[in-house]
Amino acid sequence: MYFESRGDAGKQLAAKLVDKYRYEDCAVIALSDGAVMVAEQVAAKLHCVLTMLLIENIAIPGEGLSFGGVSQEGAFTYNSDFSQGEIDEYTSEYNGYLQEQKRVAFQAINRLIGDGGTINSALLKDRHIIVISDGLQHGAVLDVVLDFLKPIRTKSFIFATPVASSTVVDKLHVMADELYILDVKENYVDTDHYYTDNTVPSHEDTIDKINKIILNWR
């Protein structure tokens, strides 16, 4: 399945969610600027808050594998796909590199946080949490999301995305209370591949969308 744009995909997801969640107390969390374009369609249809959780991925050098991610609170969460033995091995071999990457990742997040529009934990308490991506090939980001949500009392964790790899879906079946995924790929190419129009606004424009979401409720 291919989508005209992220906004078009968001409308399709909103149509799947609206009957069950239009009159429920929900909060929508987007995982990137591109995900905000999907998520704003859902938040507008459900009449709920929209926010963004900033996550910086840290990859193992030369292997293209995600070792884990840093959230905007500075916490690092390991990719749960790795065993404890693998984590210990990589940590020992790349300790200096990984520490430096964590520092760089947190600095990058702090620069973006200065623009506003990022997540406020108080907005999530006692709500159904709908986490939205514009496409997900690897599941490491999900571990960061769950780690972030762990201390917050919520009603349920719902994950929605236009497209995801089959390995991510397998992981989500264990993590999430509900899934809304329009297409599952055995051989995931890259997220942009599944959209005809790959226009993504600047981070400043993304923040503006988040701050004005109430004006777009419909």
131 has pLDDT over 80: yes
CATH number of the domain residue 209 falls in: 3.40.50.2020
Q: Does residue 141 sit in the same domain as residue 189?
A: yes
The parent domain of residue 121 ranges over 6-54+115-216
Q: Lowest mean pLDDT of 36-40, 109-113, 176-180, name the range.
A: 109-113
pLDDT bin (cut points 50, 70, 90) of residue 117 is very low
Kindly state whether residues 124 and 100 are assigned to the same domain. Answer: no
Q: Name the band, by pLDDT with cuts 50, 70 and 90, for residue 79.
A: confident
Average pLDDT over residues 27-54: 91
Residue-level pLDDT at 26: 96
Q: What is the share, in percent, of the chain residues with pLDDT greater than 90?
A: 47
Q: What would the DSSP string read from start to end of the chain?
A: --BS-HHHHHHHHHHHHHHHHTTS-EEEEESSHHHHHHHHHHHHHHT-EEEE--EEEEEETTTTEEEEEEETTS-EEE-TTS-HHHHHHHHHHSHHHHHHHHHHHHHHHHHHHTT--B--GGGTTTSEEEEE-S-BS-SHHHHHHHHHHTTS--SEEEEEEEEEEHHHHHHHHHH-SEEEEEEEESS---GGGGBS------HHHHHHHHHTGGGG--
Whether residues 144 and 169 share a domain: the answer is: yes
Q: Based on the fold, state whether residues 212 and 145 are members of the same structural domain.
A: yes
* pLDDT of res. 217: 55
